[in-house]
Amino acid sequence: MYKKMTLEDILSKLNGWKAVQGREAISKKFTFKNFDQAFAAMTKIAKKAEEMDHHPEWFNVYNRLEVTLATHDANGVTSYDLELAKFIDAVST
């Protein structure tokens, strides 16, 4: 089960993630060497998201990926978003 968090709390535990204006969510933009690397990261993220049953909002163009995380059931951010954000950072570097 997730733990509700404030935007300030979750952002203090992450690097490069920002609050989404107008909603309780966080986002980050990633740039990869090419589309293959972006897609490989997305595949890893998708598998982790399925395991967690916690899915990101994302937008991909060629080597760029923008990810937004929020826990819709909680109407905000939670420990699930923190866990997934840390995983995304790990597979996107």
Q: Which domains does the chain have, with CATH numbers?
A: 4-91 (3.30.1360.20)
Estimate to the nearest angstrom the gap between the alpha carbon of 42 and the chain centroid.
Answer: 11
For residue range 43-63, list pLDDT tens digits in order: 999 999 999 999 999 999 999
- pLDDT, position 1: 86
Tell me the sheet residues that pair with 19: 26
Over residues 56-88, the pLDDT tens digits come to 999 999 999 999 999 999 999 999 999 999 999
The per-residue pLDDT for 93 is: 84
Taking residues 33-37, report their average pLDDT. 98
Q: For residue 16, what pLDDT is reported?
A: 98
Distance CA 27, CA 89 (A): 12
Q: Check: pTM over 0.75? Answer yes or no.
A: yes
